[in-house]
Structure 1
């Protein structure tokens, strides 16, 4: 399917949500009609306060996700190279996978007393196991004969990563990254709400909901959805296509 066709069908799918939104606004108390929300959107987007709060949450997500990716890669590498360490680290990975994001957020914010470190670490903790499992499966699927060949020709660590491991691990990385990225945005909102943050998306959404400013509730939800979709389809998917252009 060509890009123009994909954009057409994606736009049509979004437009089909408008009638459902209108119908819901007529029969629900706390849902504002699209006309009122869209009328308030230009002023909302023109506000510097909007973008500063989005930027704060974005930094928390990127820092936590980056830390989770690094920790996941290290854990995956160790688990794929050592059977004993694979079993030991496997317990921690499974425990992290099974920990509810709300509980992780509460614990991290309680330990670090609502500091920026707590927000970043809770995102890293939740995303780390997904990256570890995905990259471990990728490393385990790598051809061991190519690994032996790299050792015979005395390839350096950088060359081994680039020419031997990366081609096998890359599909698993992007698959895990999509899941971790989506989860990172969900958990940061939970963390900001439970942590009573003063700045950030979760803080502004909680404030609007507490005081029943429903227009702002809708606007923050729309912005949140737009950011996640842009990051997924505008950044991650295009980066994946660029990485696999050699195919």
Structure 2
């Protein structure tokens, strides 16, 4: 019995080792050039992508390269409305050497910072009030919902019609347009705070100023930083729109003036310089402040 069982097991193992269905072995047919345990060579495109710098730097290089390629193709098919890259770079150099450009740039930057500070302070204060006071929330909630639903250019147009084309109209329009978004961000995070910390502060009979600065504000720091970055990003975009519609000077006015004269190279050059500068301020200044204040999370 033992001999028969051993013979059957040997026969079964020999059958299992044979190629099934007449398939070629590892050294024949289609698999002749592939070594056992090794993957086939990747295609050239995959090798090229693998050779790129790793991480966010590589992704950024690919993104910028893709944008430049799309820009080049559009400049070929939509000339002269889309200027080519070389002409735009030349126009950028000319703008950087122009005193008039820097006058407009400084003026616009001042408007952006003024609107940003005003909208951030007012929006954060109203958001705290709505989040902590039920009566204030019942009063402001319909107004906040309406303000968030109104398109931003509507504020700009009505401010210009009511106050004229001076600095006051632009400041009021920008502040009213940005404040609702900051208020909504702060209010939502006040509602999401840890209520247990409020109960602990109440048990220990902490004064209200101490509760505000030692219990509530530390929980709201991430929300306040997010609201600040959003306020800055929205402010500089709306400042350009306000200047293009109703201001005689500034970056927006310069872009609109060049557009009316069909100087598309100047339009692209001014816009690129201003956008890059605003991105550097947002990521370089506000981003560093955010990382420093939120270092405790790491």
Normalised TM-score (structure 2):
0.75
1:34 matched to 2:85: yes
Cα deviation for residue 5 of structure 1 reads 4.3
1:134 aligned residue: 185
> Given the alignment, which residue of 60, 72, 76 partners 2:123?
72
Aligned length: 242
Q: How does 1:177-188 map to 2 (within 5 A)?
A: 177-188=228-239
**CA shift in 2, pair 1:45/1:17, >3 Å:** same
Cα deviation for residue 142 of structure 1 reads 2.0
1:200 aligned residue: 250
Q: Check whether the contact 2:120–2:227 (CA below 8 A) recurs between aligned residues.
A: no
Between the aligned partners of 2:221 and 2:284, the Cα distance in structure 1 is 19
Gaps of 5+ in 1: none
Q: Check whether the contact 2:124–2:224 (CA below 8 A) recurs between aligned residues.
A: no
**CA shift in 2, pair 1:153/1:8, >3 Å:** farther
SS in structure 2 of the partner of residue 246 of structure 1? helix
Q: How does 1:1-247 map to 2 (within 5 A)?
A: 5-29=55-79, 30-150=81-201, 152-155=204-207, 157=209, 159-195=210-246, 197-247=247-297
Which stretch of structure 1 is more off in the superposition, 100-109 or 145-154?
Answer: 145-154
Cα deviation for residue 24 of structure 1 reads 0.7
Which stretch of structure 1 is more off in the superposition, 92-101 or 138-147?
Answer: 138-147
Between the aligned partners of 2:162 and 2:267, the Cα distance in structure 1 is 30
Q: Deviations over 1:134-175 (max 9, x none)?
A: 111121222234234445353462x44442122221222233
Between the aligned partners of 1:14 and 1:235, the Cα distance in structure 2 is 22
Normalised TM-score (structure 1):
0.89
Gaps of 5+ in 2: 1-53
Greater Rg by CA? 2
SS in structure 1 of the partner of residue 295 of structure 2? coil
Q: Which runs of 4+ in 1 moved over 4 A?
A: none
Q: Check whether the contact 1:193–1:203 (CA below 8 A) recurs between aligned residues.
A: yes
Larger proportion of helix? 1
Between the aligned partners of 1:228 and 1:115, the Cα distance in structure 2 is 24
Between the aligned partners of 1:226 and 1:241, the Cα distance in structure 2 is 21
Between the aligned partners of 1:62 and 1:215, the Cα distance in structure 2 is 28
Cα deviation for residue 226 of structure 1 reads 0.6
Over the residues paired in the alignment, what is the CA RMSD in angstroms? 2.0
Between the aligned partners of 1:41 and 1:97, the Cα distance in structure 2 is 37
Between the aligned partners of 1:140 and 1:27, the Cα distance in structure 2 is 52
Larger RCO (CA under 8 A, 6+ residues apart): 1
